[in-house]
Amino acid sequence: MPSRRFSRPRAAVVVTAAVALLLAACSPGGGTPGEPSGEPVEGGTLTYASGDAEPSCLDPHVGGNYPQALIATQYLESLVSLDESGEVIPWLATEWQEGDDGLSWEFTLREDVQFTDGTPFDAEAVAANIAHVQDPATASSTGYLALAKIENVVAVEDHLVRLELSMPDSALLESLSQIWVAMESPKALERSQEENCAAPVGTGPFVVDEWERQDSVTLVRNDDYTSPPADVPADAGTGLPYLDTIVWRFIPDSASRYAALQSGEAQVIDNAQPDTIRSAESDEAIQELDAPRPGAANRIELNSGKAPFDDERVREAFVRSVNVDEGIESLFFGTAERSYSPLSSVEPLGLSLPELFTVDTDAAAALLDEAGWTERDADGYRVKDGKRLTLDFPVSTNQSIPAEQSLFEQIQADAKEAGFEVRLHPLDLSSWYGALAENDYDLVSAPYTKVGPDVLRVLYHSDSIEPAPSGYFANLAQVDDPALDDLLTRASATSDPDARQSLYEQAQRIILEGYHVLPLYDQQNHFLHSSTVQGLRAMPTVSTPTFAEAWLAS
């Protein structure tokens, strides 16, 4: 199955942590520019093969998911960016100033930038973009929530814009760094949504030339490109981008995708399978780019909102009886590191408590006996009051890669030994949401892309148990702990780094020690590319690769 990672529509917020993102330090090779060898070569066509589902709209304002972010990074640009250390750096905005009350921000814009349709980039354009994202008709989810606190946009001067907020938002800059709120030509935005979806107009290094549905998007060089982010060396600026054309193909079948890379049909593929990453290591012609996504780690949530996981002993027994480490080792071929934290390894505030997750089947058995699940039925499953110890596990086939689904199967096998009947339900996205909305699950894995520890508030604050009008809720573990709520609320309001760190540490301790989650590993984001591709790097914002500085060695 093609893996299709959705950052949560509607609910997902990508907030960049105020503190530095130590991307480079935490993930070897991740996000660092490929080591250029020799002089960049100009020209050439690069084929990118994506395993994600083809976006239905190329404008990331609409909806706002990761596949859109991947491609939009090539033709859209944001007001600000992050550098490798996670510092906010200028991009389309050269400088910015927060008002004393925290309720207004002024951005000075670059004056030499034009959209590729000739429209100048100015304060009105920024206003139009924010209005577009906030327009309900746009149906923006991710961008809409990122800009939720912006109340008013004032074009002070041609190239000076003021954003007025409803409440202070220290994460505003990081929000604006996201591709989901990137700047598009106001003239282009006036077109119908169908037209704008087919070819959004930005300021980026490439221009959407043609979109053959169910096949490919052709991106061509923006000859007038002038606006790389500030972390691009100034001397490189004039010649960028090097490539003439990018053909962005959608190849959902992982075997075909890898074959395309091997045979040279494609130069870059995403969603690389673990075994191919491993075998590519011995292949001189293929290189890897590993860029774990920020936000939460991939983890299994244990639904404590209903039996049997409303009993902490049962939760612990489950966690203690499944051997995740070995599974990750063999299924991911060493490409994924076991996580013991609710947060991604790129989040500096993440707390790891490995000792909680050591496998101890005796302890698990004792805990289950204690919890009253003493008997076993003919199939070897534990029984209490005539009821079998059954756990329903809806799996989104769109979001869990095959290796992850295999891991769940192994967990199922382990749990069976301990007396749990785990029922895996691989579901399409729609049915999966349906199962969650009906509280029809005991275990679930829901990847969550969101920068910064504030993700914890979204995922584990009891408010998030309350379903939104759409029926979706983020607190899938259904953790309902006033103490935790208090910690999370205070943490998000505190600007003092030490206090924040301590609050988030306590919060994570509660989540982990309560056995509400079983952390697995970082959200995998592996790219394989031909060795001829040079200068490829992942954006330090949401880890999408950018081809602005990439070139094809002859």
Partner 1 sequence: MSRLRGAVVRATAFRPTAAEAIAGVVLALLLVAALWPNLLAPGDPLAVSRAEAFRPPSPAHLFGTDESGRDIYTRVVHGAAESLRIGVLATAIGIGLATVLGFVAGLGPRWLDFGTTRLVEVLFAFPGLLLALLFIVVTGPGVLSSTIAVGLATAPGYARIIRSQVRRTAAAEFVEAARVLGRGRFWIITRHVLPNVTAALFVLATLGLGQAVIWVSSLSYLGLGAVPPAAEWGAMLAAGRTYIANFWWMTFFPGLAIVASAAAATVVGRGIQKRNRSAA
Partner 2 sequence: MTLPVPTTGARRRPAPGNRRWLLLRAGGVVFVLWAAATITFFALRLVPGDPAEAILGGPGSQAGPEALDQVRREYGLDQPLVVQYLTYLGRLATGDLGQSYSLHKPVATAIGEQFGATLALALCSLALAWALACALAAWSVRGGRIAWAIGSGLELVAAAVPHFWLATVLILFFSITLGILPPVSVPGPLGIVLPALTLAIPLAGFLGQVMRESLLTAMESPFVTTARARGESEARIFWRHTLRHAAIPAVGLSGWAFGSLISGAVVVESVFARQGLGRSLLSAVQLRDVTLVTGIVLVVALAYTVMTLVTDLADRAIDPRVRAVPQ
Say which entry of partner 2, partner 1, none residue 197 contacts (CB below 5 to 8 A, set by partner kind): partner 2
Q: Which of 111, 210, 253, 379 binds partner 1 (CB under 8 A)?
A: 253
Nearest approach, Cβ of 399 to partner 1 (angstroms)? Answer: 13
- The Cα–Cα gap between 295 and 347 comes to 7
Query: Cβ 212 to partner 2, closest distance in Å?
Result: 6
Q: Residue 346 burial by CB count (10 A; 0-12/13-18/19+): exposed, middle or buried? A: buried
Q: Is 522 left (phi over 0), alpha (psi -120 to 50) or beta?
A: beta
Report the partner that residue 426 touches, choosing among partner 2, partner 1, none (CB closer than 5 to 8 A by kind): partner 1
Nearer to partner 2, 380 or 471 (CB): 471
Q: Which residues bind partner 2 (CB under 8 A)?
A: 9-10, 49, 53-54, 56-57, 62, 136, 193-194, 197, 212-215, 249-253, 255-257, 259-260, 262-263, 265-266, 398, 428-434, 437, 468-472
What phi and psi values does residue 167 have, to the nearest 5 degrees? -155, 160
Residue closest to 113 by CA, chosen among 227, 204, 206, 221: 227
Q: Does 551 bind partner 1 (CB under 8 A)?
A: no
**Residue 424: contacted member of partner 2, partner 1, none (CB under 5 to 8 Å, by partner type):** partner 1
Cα 461 from Cα 239, distance rounded (Å): 49
Radius of gyration of the chain measured on its C-alpha atoms = 24
Question: Whole-angstrom Cα distance, residue 400 to residue 404?
Answer: 6
C-beta closer to partner 2: residue 141 or 339: 141
Determine the 3-state secondary structure of 346 from DSSP. Answer: coil
**How far apart are alpha carbons 381 and 374 in whole angstroms?**
10
Contact 69, 75 (CB under 8 A): no
384 Cβ contact partners less than 8 Å away, ≥ 6 residues apart: 308, 371, 372, 373, 374, 375
Contacted by 164, from partner 2, partner 1, none: CB < 5 to 8 Å by type = none
Q: Which residues between 268 and 287 bind partner 1 (CB under 8 A)?
A: 273, 275-276, 279
Task: Give the burial class of 498: count Cβ atoms within 10 A of its Cβ; 0-12 exposed, 13-18 middle, 19 or more buried.
Answer: exposed
**Shortest Cβ distance from residue 410 to partner 1 (Å)?**
5
CB of 430 to partner 1, least distance (A): 9
Which of partner 2, partner 1, none is residue 532 near (CB under 5 to 8 Å by kind)?
Answer: none
Binding status of residue 405 toward partner 1 by CB under 8 A: yes
Would you say 259 or 366 has its CB closer to partner 1?
Answer: 259
Among 225, 250, 258, 551, binds partner 1 (CB under 8 A): 258
Tokens 């027994």 belong to 317
Closer to partner 1 at the Cβ: 54 or 231?
54
Q: Please tell me the distance from the alpha carbon of residue 133 to that of residue 466, in angstroms, as a whole number.
A: 25
How much of the chain is helix, strand and coil, in % rounded to 5? 30, 20, 45
Which of 151, 329, 370, 377 contacts partner 1 by CB under 8 A? 329
Helices vs. strands in the chain: H and E counts, helices first:
17, 25
Work out what residue 249 binds among partner 1, partner 2, none; the CB cut-off runs from 5 to 8 Å by kind: partner 2
Give Cβ neighbours of residue 135 (< 8 Å, ≥ 6 apart).
none
483 near 510, Cβ under 8 Å?
yes
Binding-site member from 226, 245, 410, 439 for partner 1 (CB under 8 A): 410
Report how far apart, in Å, the C-alpha atoms of 222 and of each of 76, 178, 201, 204, 243 are: 11, 21, 11, 7, 10
Taking the least distance from each CB to partner 2, the nearer of 59 and 414 is 59
Assess 102 for contact with partner 1 (CB under 8 A).
no
- If binding is defined by CB under 8 A, does position 327 make contact with partner 1? yes
Residue 327, binding choice from partner 2, partner 1, none, Cβ under 5 to 8 Å by partner class: partner 1
Minimum CB distance to partner 1 smaller for 176 or for 444: 444
Adjacent-strand bridge partners of 38: none
Choose among partner 1, partner 2, none what residue 254 binds, the Cβ cut-off being 5 to 8 Å by kind. Answer: partner 1
Stretch that binds partner 1, among 253-261, 290-298, 306-314, 486-494 (CB under 8 A): 253-261
Please identify, using beta-carbon distances, which residue of 263 and 554 lies nearer to partner 2: 263
Among 122, 290, 414, 454, binds partner 1 (CB under 8 A): 414
Q: Look-up: residue for tokens 């951005």? A: 107
∠ at Cα 517 (515, 518), nearest 5°? 100
Which of these, 296, 306, 396, 299, lies nearest to 349 by C-alpha position? 296
User: Shortest gap between Cβ of 10 and partner 1 (angstroms)?
Assistant: 23
Q: Which of residues 419-438 bind partner 1 (CB under 8 A)?
A: 424-428, 431
Tokens of 143: 């961008």
Give the interface with partner 1 as residue ranges (CB under 8 A).
1, 253-255, 258-259, 262, 273, 275-276, 279, 323, 326-327, 329-331, 397, 402-403, 405-406, 409-410, 412-414, 424-428, 431
